[in-house]
Structure 1
Amino acid sequence: MTSSLNKGVGKVQVTLRWDPSPAGAPDHDLDIIAAVYPQEDPHGTPVYLVHFGSRSPDGTITLDRDSRTGQGFGSDEVMTLELERLSPAYGRVVVGVAIQQGGGRVAFADVAGGQVAVKEGYQELDNLPLADLGPATAATIAEFTRADGGTGGWRWSRSLRGFDADPRSFTELMGGAAD
């Protein structure tokens, strides 16, 4: 599935929600992570990461809401990506979700009500129940690539790949080429 917009995608929101852990169980803490890759090496080492407690150096990617428990109404985490403002030096952005493993191993299948959505304005590009990722503890969910060698608009595609990795390890794996 890829974007069919002629001008490409511009400003995108990735939203994440999940239900709180059962009473007496450790909190489930899920995090949205974005990795930005250079135009000349789109599957190499990311130039920078955006996650809880950080934002992109130029302010184009921000985590607007961060939850450690899944409590509350609506989206628990929200990340905004202003792709049209990214420097032409960047050619690929990969967005994923990772589960903190501080309270013992937790997989997506263990998290009730988990849902991730990708939206541009009012248009929903994708919506995915996290339980579909089963035993994975981290997953890529979206990939944005710049068309025409850095001069064109951004294209969106679903990039659903599950990993058995903690958040730190995941950031080293998430941008690799798909098998």
Structure 2
Amino acid sequence: MRYIKPEPYYEGLPPFNVSGSPFNVVPIHNYPELMKDTCALINAEWPRSETARMRSLEASCDTLPCSLVLTTEGMCRVIAHLKLSPITSKKKACFVESVVVDKRHRGQGFGKLIMKFAEDYCRVVLDLKTIYLSTIDQDGFYERIGYEYCAPVTMYGPRHCELPSLQNAKKKYMKKVL
């Protein structure tokens, strides 16, 4: 197996891609060749126009927003994705969204792996203190990895209010202090 040296700003993070491990977690903006496959993975779960999805992925950067992908060794297949987004009213926090694992690889610990890496990236690289998220039906998973229920949080600042909808009524908000 080939060892892929982590990017310099990963120093201090747990080595998820150490020798012998067939997986890597990387910011997508450093590997634009993975964007099409990542777009297809996300759209398989939440359909949206390819153009809009690609624009969102192309906005990824070293700060926020940042899309992280879990890939196989050699970067040949995207297994999971998540996006870290800023919360305008909370400078030391972010909102994790679009967490998705390829259907063929669910139940194998990849969701936990990419979430753990995202937490470390937020703490070490971005110097954040808290991660927030919302979920409709995966709160059991997030509880098992240390998230707790919290009051709703909006990414858009105090003047934004979400339109009432059945989907929003089912959302559960959670957070983890890093």
* Same fold flag (TM > 0.5): no
More strand, by proportion: 1
Structure 2-normalised TM-score? 0.29
More helix, by proportion: 2
